[in-house]
Structure 1
Amino acid sequence: MRNMTPRQIVAELDQHIVGQDKAKRAVAIALRNRWRWQQLPEDDRREITPKNIIMIGPTGVGKTEITRRLAKLIGSPFVKVEATRFTEVGYVGRDVESMIRELVDAAINLVKQKRRGEVETDAVKNVEERLLDLLVPHEPRPIPIEGTADAQEADDHEARHARTREKFRQMLRSGALDERQVELTIAQRKMPMQVFSNMGLEQMDTDFQQMFERLIPKQTKDRKVTVKEAKRILLEQETEALLDKDAIHDEALQLAESSGIVFLDEIDKICTSGEGGRGSTDVSRQGVQRDLLPIVEGATVNTRYGSLKTDHILFIAAGAFHSSRPADLMPELQGRFPIRVELDELTRFDFLRILTEPSASITRQYQQLLGVDGMQITFTEEGLEEIAEVAWRVNQSTQNIGARRLHTIMERLLERLSFEGPDSTVTSIEIDRPFVKRQLEEISRDEDLSKFIL
Structure 2
Amino acid sequence: MRVETQRVTREELQDLQGGAGSRPSGSGISSDAPSGSTAPDSDAPRVFVAGSAGVSEAPLGTGADRPADASADATDAGTGAGEIPGGGAPREELTLKERRARTREKLRKLLKDGKLEDREVEMEVHQTANLDGMMIPMGMDSMDHNFTEMLQEMLPRRTKRRSMKVGEARRILIQEELDRLVDMDEVVNEAMDRTEEMGIVFLDEIDKIAGERGGAGPDVSRQGVQRDLLPIVEGSNVQTKYGLVRTDHILFIAAGAFHVAKPSDLIPELQGRFPIRVELKSLDEKDFVRILTEPKNALLHQYRALIQTEGATLTFSEDGTHEIARIAARLNDRMENIGARRLQTVMTTLLEEVLFALPESGVTSVAVDRSFVLSHLEAIVEDEDLRRYIL
Q: Same fold judged by TM-score > 0.5?
A: yes
Q: Which residue of 2 aligns with 1:85?
A: none
| Distance in 1, Cα, partners of 2:306 & 2:245 | 43
CA 1:227–1:194: 2 relative to 1, 3 Å: same
Q: Please state if 1:332 is matched with 2:269.
A: yes
Q: Which residue of 1 aligns with 2:115?
A: 176
Equivalent residue in structure 2 for 1:258, among 197, 218, 226: 197
The residue type equivalent to 2:223 in the other structure is Q
The residue type equivalent to 1:382 in the other structure is D
CA 1:447–1:283: 2 relative to 1, 3 Å: same
Q: 1 or 2 for the larger relative contact order (CA 8 Å, sep ≥6)?
A: 1
CA 1:251–1:422: 2 relative to 1, 3 Å: farther
What secondary structure sits across from 1:289 in the alignment?
helix
8 Å CA contact 2:207–2:258 kept in 1: the answer is yes
Count residues with an aligned counterpart.
305
Q: Which residue of 2 aligns with 1:246?
A: 185
Matches within 5 A, 1:430-441: 430-441=367-378
What secondary structure sits across from 1:338 in the alignment?
coil
8 Å CA contact 1:384–1:432 kept in 2: the answer is yes
| Distance in 2, Cα, partners of 1:373 & 1:238 | 45
Task: Please identify, of 177-186 and 188-197, the stretch whose mean Cα deviation from structure 2 is larger.
Answer: 188-197
The residue type equivalent to 1:244 in the other structure is D
| Distance in 1, Cα, partners of 2:207 & 2:139 | 22
Between structure 1 and structure 2, the one with the greater Rg is 2
Task: Please identify, of 346-355 and 225-234, the stretch whose mean Cα deviation from structure 2 is larger.
Answer: 346-355
Q: Which residue of 2 aligns with 1:309?
A: 246
CA 1:448–1:302: 2 relative to 1, 3 Å: same
| Distance in 2, Cα, partners of 1:354 & 1:431 | 17
Task: Please identify, of 416-425 and 323-332, the stretch whose mean Cα deviation from structure 2 is larger.
Answer: 416-425
The residue type equivalent to 2:257 in the other structure is A
8 Å CA contact 2:211–2:265 kept in 1: the answer is yes
TM-superposed CA distance for 1:403, in Å, is 0.5
Q: Please state if 1:292 is matched with 2:226.
A: no
CA 1:345–1:176: 2 relative to 1, 3 Å: closer
Q: Which residue of 1 aligns with 2:344?
A: 407
The residue type equivalent to 1:308 in the other structure is V
Deviations 1:298-340 (A, max 9, x none): 2222322232221221111011223332223232322221110
Equivalent residue in structure 2 for 1:228, among 156, 162, 167: 167
Q: Which residue of 2 aligns with 1:207?
A: 146
What secondary structure sits across from 1:178 in the alignment?
coil
Equivalent residue in structure 2 for 1:347, among 284, 290, 304: 284
| Percent of residue pairs bearing the same amino acid type | 51
| Distance in 1, Cα, partners of 2:200 & 2:255 | 13
8 Å CA contact 1:186–1:222 kept in 2: the answer is yes
5+ residue gaps, structure 2, are: 1-85
Q: Which residue of 2 aligns with 1:269?
A: 208
Equivalent residue in structure 2 for 1:385, among 316, 322, 327: 322
Matches within 5 A, 1:26-425: 157-187=96-126, 190=130, 192-193=132-133, 206-214=145-153, 221-274=160-213, 277=214, 279=216, 281-356=218-293, 361-367=298-304, 377-396=314-333, 398-415=335-352
8 Å CA contact 1:194–1:205 kept in 2: the answer is no
| Distance in 2, Cα, partners of 1:328 & 1:201 | 38
CA 1:408–1:208: 2 relative to 1, 3 Å: farther
CA 1:399–1:151: 2 relative to 1, 3 Å: farther
8 Å CA contact 2:141–2:147 kept in 1: the answer is no
8 Å CA contact 2:131–2:148 kept in 1: the answer is no
8 Å CA contact 1:355–1:362 kept in 2: the answer is yes
| Distance in 2, Cα, partners of 1:195 & 1:300 | 29
TM-superposed CA distance for 1:385, in Å, is 3.2
Deviations 1:213-262 (A, max 9, x none): 44565565433222233223333333333222222212211222222211
The residue type equivalent to 2:191 in the other structure is A
TM-superposed CA distance for 1:419, in Å, is 7.0
| Distance in 2, Cα, partners of 1:160 & 1:308 | 60
What secondary structure sits across from 1:238 in the alignment?
helix
5+ residue gaps, structure 1, are: 1-146
CA 1:280–1:430: 2 relative to 1, 3 Å: closer
8 Å CA contact 1:352–1:388 kept in 2: the answer is yes
8 Å CA contact 1:178–1:226 kept in 2: the answer is yes
TM-superposed CA distance for 1:204, in Å, is 5.2
| Distance in 1, Cα, partners of 2:359 & 2:97 | 58
TM-superposed CA distance for 1:371, in Å, is 6.4
| Distance in 1, Cα, partners of 2:219 & 2:353 | 48
The residue type equivalent to 1:331 in the other structure is P
Deviations 1:117-159 (A, max 9, x none): xxxxxxxxxxxxxxxxxxxxxxxxxxxxxx9867886666444
| Distance in 2, Cα, partners of 1:406 & 1:382 | 16
TM-superposed CA distance for 1:359, in Å, is 6.7
Deviations 1:148-203 (A, max 9, x none): 86788666644443332222111111122222210133356757458689x99965
The structure that is helix-richer by fraction is 1
